Amino acid sequence: MPVSLEVRGLSKRFGGIVVADAIDLELRAGRIVGLIGPNGAGKTSFFNLVSGVVRPDSGTVALEGRDLTGMKAHRRARLGLGRTWQSLRLFPSLSVLYNLLIGARHYPGERLATLILEHGRVHRAEKAGRQRALEVLQRTGLDGFAHREVGSVPFGQQKLIGVARALMNEPRCLLLDEPMAGVEGQAYRTIQSLVRTLAAEGISVCVVEHNVAFIRDLCDEGVFMFAGRVLARGTVESLIADRRLTELYFGT
């Protein structure tokens, strides 16, 4: 399967803390990789570095052969890098539908000049975006919530909104930061099957998750991180079986 995301030598330190230490990682189209490791291992930091939200000290990132190094976060997103946040980061002042519309891929109305001078075009894009948002809502089982304020939606559905929002950009690679934390029931199953379908559509997925059952059921491969380094990669089973890693994980 072709390489989707390619990370080489990604490093970052904050003062004395090394959050990424020469990380090399490849994600392949259609494959789901589970990123595991104890709290503070640098998993979220890795996502921040890859998505351009934090500037690395060194290292390169490429998506489908295209070099993203040094690019701003918004450009990476437009080129197909989608992500969600451990702490959700939804837009509380917008309804669910509008939260999704912020992620719309083509939005000419984002330029003030276009908005004023080419209103017709903006209007059409707005309609198309809305159409797509409604589809994504349907797909994520959120259609009943479209016009609710995000704060009033149950927590599991809020997590889904985070994923749905990232899908608006038609990502080629999706980074999910603890999508299952605090989620159960219907939302759990929806996220699970959604991630599967997305991968089947050829998207590369990287999931950070503490829920071992979820990782084992879903991921084709596991990567174990500790103190900013990739310590091991292989099948999830083999990582779980490794005594050394479990000890690091539970900090004995």
Ligand X SMILES: Nc1ncnc2c1ncn2[C@@H]1O[C@H](COP(=O)(O)OP(=O)(O)O)[C@@H](O)[C@H]1O
Nearer Cβ to another protein (110/135): 110
Alpha-carbon gap, residue 33 to 196, rounded angstroms: 12
Q: Which of residues 60-119 bind another protein (CB under 8 A)?
A: 72-75, 77-78, 83, 85-87, 89-95, 98-99, 101-103, 105, 107, 109-112, 115-116
Q: Give yes or no for residue 83 binding ligand X (CB under 6 A).
A: no
**What Rg value do the Cα atoms of the chain yield, rounded?**
19
Q: Which helix (H) or strand (E) holds 229?
A: strand 229-234
Question: Minimum distance between the CB of residue 153 and another protein, rounded to whole angstroms?
Answer: 11
Question: Given candidates 27, 29, 45, 173, which one binds ligand X under the rule CB under 6 A?
Answer: 45
Helix axes 119-139, 155-167, angle to 10 degrees: 130
- Find, among 202, 201, 204, the residue nearest to 219 by Cα: 204
Question: Minimum distance between the CB of residue 5 and another protein, rounded to whole angstroms?
Answer: 15
- Stretches 41-49, 66-74, 133-141, 151-159: which one binds Mg ion (CB under 5 A)? 41-49
Cβ(33)–Cβ(215) under 8 Å? no
Question: Given candidates 44, 84, 157, 169, which one binds Mg ion under the rule CB under 5 A?
Answer: 44
Binding mask 82-101 for Mg ion (x = CB under 5 A): ----x---------------
17 binds, among ligand X, Mg ion, another protein, none (CB under 5 to 8 A by kind): ligand X
Q: Helix or strand or coil: residue 6?
A: strand
The amino acid at 176: L
Instruction: Look at strands 32-36 and 221-226 and give their pairing.
Output: parallel
Q: Give yes or no for residue 84 binding ligand X (CB under 6 A).
A: no
Q: Give yes or no for residue 229 binding another protein (CB under 8 A).
A: no
Q: Which pairs with CB-CB distance under 8 Å and at least 24 residues apart come from 233-237? A: 236/34
Q: Give yes or no for residue 178 binding another protein (CB under 8 A).
A: yes
Q: Helix or strand or coil: residue 227?
A: coil
Question: Given candidates 132, 165, 172, 233, which one binds another protein under the rule CB under 8 A?
Answer: 165
130 binds, among another protein, Mg ion, ligand X, none (CB under 5 to 8 A by kind): another protein
Alpha-carbon gap, residue 163 to 96, rounded angstroms: 12
Q: Which residues of this chain interact with ligand X, rule CB under 6 A?
A: 14, 17, 19, 37, 39-45
